[in-house]
């Protein structure tokens, strides 16, 4: 089979029709010539040369076909390797020549990389989820232990009424903490797993900012922190209203949390060429430069904020929300002077 068709259905040995026709024409031509040129030696020489040329042409054609078939066979082998996911063999393919084969090899390797990538991505997602679950259990453990201890104390009959009230109050605090934790976890996990689809629609950005501020005013006014907004009321921007509010709220909440009393927070909106920039400027304790990248990580908490309660999920969520909308977040800050969080959202859909 290998000889007859080379496995590809192309006959290798059989004479093709044009070759046979050209031989017949050549012979007829030479028979015809003998009538006019009686020199037999010359005619014979001409006939032999003619046949030789045909043989040579035929041979080189066969060679060329063989070369192309070898090429195709290579591709076929590579595809077999690709199907059996033999990445080691694939990576050894020659890709650095100016040849057609080399170009195809490069593409085959790319394809294998894409496949590997996809299977890796699945693994990563699973790992992410595992991380989230272990984070959740870790974070919930402390308040749970506290609750158990308080409950045991409560079962003691000899405690006074005041003590009892005190304990119940602590228990409420712990339950609230668990509630808050779970709420944040659910939000972040839903975002992470991709259950939440962000819907970007054109809204007045001012309204979104106002909504975020309205949920923080109580906390802000307790510390006598004033919030100023510099944004055109009729400025429209495509964004997901609900989740962007959440993102803004988280940053504002942090700003209020880490600002001393009687300070102010400014929100400034600027329209740039490609992005709209929303600055949230506070006069709080600030963040040192080496923490700029870390504050957006899940469950990151600064060293000096043990006084303030929180779990370190707010900024992580904020960034996730903004990045899901094709934007990005930056922070600029100097310790003791305040921080500026800048949100960038794309102007177009």
Contacting residue, 1, 17, 123, 274, with another protein by CB under 8 A? 274
Binding piece for another protein, criterion CB under 8 A, among 36-44, 71-79, 94-102, 217-225:
94-102
What are the DSSP calls for 24-84, one per residue?
A: HHHHHHHHHHHHH---HHHHHHHHHHHHHHHHHHHHHHHHHHHHHHHHHHHHHHHHHHHHT
Minimal distance in Å, beta carbon 96 to another protein?
4
Does position 303 bind another protein by CB under 8 A?
no
Residue 330 binds another protein (CB under 8 A): yes
Query: Under a CB-based contact definition with an 8 Å cutoff, are residues 8 and 66 in contact?
Result: no
- Residue from 39, 91, 202, 221 that binds another protein (CB under 8 A)? 91
Nearest-angstrom CA–CA distance, 344 and 326: 9
Closer of 235 and 328 to another protein (Cβ): 328
Given its phi and psi angles, is residue 199 left (phi above 0), alpha (psi -120 to 50 degrees) or beta? beta
Distance separating alpha carbons of residues 226 and 220, to the nearest angstrom: 7
If you ran DSSP here, which 8-state letter would residue 92 be given? Answer: T
**DSSP label at residue 16:** P
126 in contact with another protein (CB under 8 A):
no
The stretch near another protein (CB under 8 A) out of 96-104, 159-167, 238-246, 303-311 is 96-104
Q: Give the helix ranges, DSSP H, for 215-290.
A: 217-222, 241-257
Q: Which residue in 143, 314, 327, 338 binds another protein (CB under 8 A)?
A: 327
Residue pair 227/265 in contact (Cβ under 8 Å)? The answer is yes
Binder to another protein among 106, 187, 242, 268 (CB under 8 A)? 106
Q: Given candidates 77, 113, 176, 183, which one binds another protein under the rule CB under 8 A?
A: 113
Residue pair 298/315 in contact by the 8 Å Cβ criterion = no
Q: How many CB atoms lie within 10 A of CB 161?
A: 7
Nearer to another protein, 139 or 339 (CB): 339
Total binding residues for another protein by CB under 8 A? 29
Query: Are the C-beta atoms of residues 285 and 336 closer than 8 Å to each other?
Result: yes
Using the rule CB under 8 A, is 300 a contact of another protein? no
Question: Is 85 one of the binding residues for another protein (CB under 8 A)?
Answer: no
| Token code pair at residue 156 | 């003691």
Q: Does 272 bind another protein (CB under 8 A)?
A: yes
Q: Return the ∠ at Cα 85 (arms to 83 and 88), rounded to 5°.
A: 135
Q: Rounded to an integer, what distance in angstroms lies between the CA atom of residue 284 and that of residue 23?
A: 97
Q: Is 286 in the site for another protein (CB under 8 A)?
A: no
- Does 275 help bind another protein (rule: CB under 8 A)? yes
Residue 281 near residue 265 (C-beta atoms within 8 A): yes
Any contact of residue 290 with another protein (CB under 8 A)? yes
Minimum distance between the CB of residue 326 and another protein, rounded to whole angstroms? 6
What is the contact mask toward another protein in residues 231 to 270, using x (rule: CB under 8 A)?
Answer: ----------------------------------------
CA dist., res. 343 & res. 323, Å (int): 10
Q: Which stretch binds another protein (CB under 8 A): 12-20, 204-212, 284-292, 313-321?
A: 284-292
Q: 191 or 225, CB closer to another protein?
A: 191
Residue of 77, 117, 183, 309 interacting with another protein (CB under 8 A):
117
Lookup: tokens for 143: 């308040």
CA 246 – CA 49 distance, rounded (Å):
89
Is 292 near another protein (CB under 8 A)?
yes
Q: Tell the smallest beta-carbon distance from residue 274 to another protein (Å).
A: 5
The footprint of another protein (CB under 8 A) covers: 91, 95-98, 102-103, 106, 110, 113, 116-117, 120, 272-275, 289-290, 292-293, 326-328, 330-332, 344, 348
């Amino acid at each position: 089979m290998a000889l007859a068709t080379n496995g590809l259905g192309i006959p290798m040995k059989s004479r093709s029709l044009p070759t046979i026709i050209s031989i017949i024409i050549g012979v007829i031509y030479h028979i015809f010539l003998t009538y006019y040129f009686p020199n037999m030696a010359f005619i014979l020489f001409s006939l032999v040369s003619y046949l030789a040329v045909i043989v040579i042409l035929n041979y080189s054609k066969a060679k060329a076909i063989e070369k192309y078939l070898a090429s195709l066979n290579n591709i076929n082998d590579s595809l077999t390797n690709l199907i059996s996911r033999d990445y080691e063999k694939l990576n050894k393919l020659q890709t650095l020549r100016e040849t057609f084969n080399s170009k195809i090899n490069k593409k085959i390797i790319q394809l294998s990389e894409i496949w590997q990538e996809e299977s890796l991505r699945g693994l990563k997602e699973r790992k992410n989820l595992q991380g989230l679950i272990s984070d959740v259990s870790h974070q919930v453990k402390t308040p749970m232990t506290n609750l158990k201890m308080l409950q045991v104390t409560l079962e003691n009959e000899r405690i006074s009424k005041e003590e009892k009230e005190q304990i119940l109050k602590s228990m409420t605090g712990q339950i609230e903490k668990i509630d808050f934790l779970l709420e944040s976890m659910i939000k972040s996990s839903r975002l992470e797993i991709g259950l939440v689809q962000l819907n970007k629609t054109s809204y007045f950005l001012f309204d979104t900012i106002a909504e975020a501020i309205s949920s923080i005013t109580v906390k802000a006014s307790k510390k006598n922190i004033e919030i100023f907004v510099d944004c055109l009321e009729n400025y429209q921007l495509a964004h997901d209203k609900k989740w962007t509010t959440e993102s803004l709220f988280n940053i504002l909440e942090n700003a209020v949390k880490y600002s001393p009393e009687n300070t102010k927070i400014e929100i400034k909106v600027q329209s740039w060429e490609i992005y709209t920039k929303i600055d949230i400027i506070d006069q709080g304790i600030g963040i040192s430069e080496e923490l700029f990248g870390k504050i957006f990580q899940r469950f990151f908490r600064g060293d000096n904020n043990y006084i303030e309660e929180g779990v370190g999920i707010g900024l992580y969520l904020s960034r996730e929300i903004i990045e899901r909308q094709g934007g990005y977040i930056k922070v600029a800050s100097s310790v003791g002077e305040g921080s500026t969080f800048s949100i960038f959202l794309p102007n177009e859909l």
